[in-house]
Amino acid sequence: MSVTGARKYPDRTSERFPYVPPYLLGLRLAGRRVVVVGGGRVAQRRVPTLLAAGAEVVLVSPEVTASLEALIDDGRVVWHRRPYAHGDCAGAWLVQAVTDDHKVNGEVVAEAEAARIWSVRADDAESSPAWTPASGRAGDATVGVLLGGDPRRAAGIRDAVVDGLRDGALESRESRRKPAGVALVGGGPGDPGLITVRGRQLLAMADVVVTDRLAPAELLDELSDDVEVIDAAKIPYGRTVTQERINDHLVEQAKRGRFVVRLKGGDPFVFGRGGEEALHCARHGVPVTVVPGITSAVAVPSAAGIPVTHRGVAQEFHVVSAHVAPDHPDSTVDWAALGRAHGTLVLLMAVERMPLIAETLVRYGRSSDTPVAVIQDGTRPAQRTVAATLATVADEMAAAGVRPPAIVVVGDVVAVGREIDMIRADERADIPADMGRDP
């Protein structure tokens, strides 16, 4: 025995004791006292999960990490700011011994064992009465994996199972609990890997998918053959499906008892007319689920290495739909205020109107030397960036043959992105050409 009173648990390699798999049990900890001894990195991982399960967490440790201190300050955790003392386990339903002191962890487990309280010991799986599984959630399913105290392998299997549940690979379409009505799903800025987990789950459940031109089309190839795909593309200066007809598709299909996913580029409520579609469904009694997406207004500049805000450079950014020109009577944008502002401008649908936009911004106060980046096909393999200033952007875009979809970023943050690129280029140049090759 490593500590008096602590039972030594046989592991799988013992000649005397064959490996006995643990009995898996889901603990319902809501309103129950859980004692965590230790305030370091292990506690930082486990305490939030215990709180999410509704546990009343008592933390015993002379010091805690900043993240744990924030939970304590919020009143979510009771902190005894001192070393462990015998008696701390009293009244607990579960004890976690997670200090970096082997002797203290053994004493905590010994006390818990004597009181017949289940305990988990972080530093010695063999001596731990209970093991914490590698756990994860996918919808309403909770997955827990144990591999004889091997946390890395358990986490790998956990990830594979959770990923399979999230993308539908481990469930038949018939076994899934489908929502009713319509789901407005943001597909993200273009890269199919940037759709949200929830968006991908709902897409795998769809009976009908109404998709547009900017949605990640590669995701459609993952659908079952019996899923109906309705093309609702709006091609700039070309063929288009009216918004009214799209609205009608959603209601008609949903009222036939089919689960409809409206797959859109970016976020449904950021210049995506998702609000119009949600209102139309609501007026016809059709339930709507909204799944936010990563908006291209922020994601595309990021993918090009341009932060839309940067300390000391830009404390604000404005996202503008430029689908109508600044001098058009339908424009509701205060271009004069944007010309006077010092923050970053992110312009969507601006390719055709960029010469007039640049002229307008300069007329209202922006310097003609203001850096500009035009990012075409952001987050996709064909992504490219055209660098310019407000004075040169029209000519540079024409020379480069820029076409939609493209995001235009105006402001000094563009220079920050260029500096990042130069540093990266210098670092790459310093790496010997034969580094990593076999001798």
What residues form DSSP beta bridges with 58?
Answer: 35, 78
Annotated catalytic residue 207: no
201 phi/psi in degrees, rounded to 5: -60, -50
Catalytic hit among 191, 207, 212, 267 = 212
Catalytic hit among 163, 234, 334, 412 = 234
- Is 119 in contact with 112 (CB distance < 8 Å)? yes
Angle of the 393-400 helix axis to the 354-363 helix axis, nearest 10? 170
Task: Give the DSSP letter of residue 6.
Answer: P
Tell me the DSSP string of 82-133: S---TTTTTT-SEEEE--S-HHHHHHHHHHHHHTT-EEEESS-GGG-SB---
User: How far does CA 56 lie from the centroid of its chain?
Assistant: 28
Annotated catalytic residue 8: no
CA distance 209 to 206: 6
Q: Which amino acid is at 430?
A: D
- Is 157 in contact with 172 (CB distance < 8 Å)? no
**Beta-carbon neighbour count of residue 68 at 10 Å?**
24
CA distance 248 to 245: 5
- Catalytic center residues: 212, 234
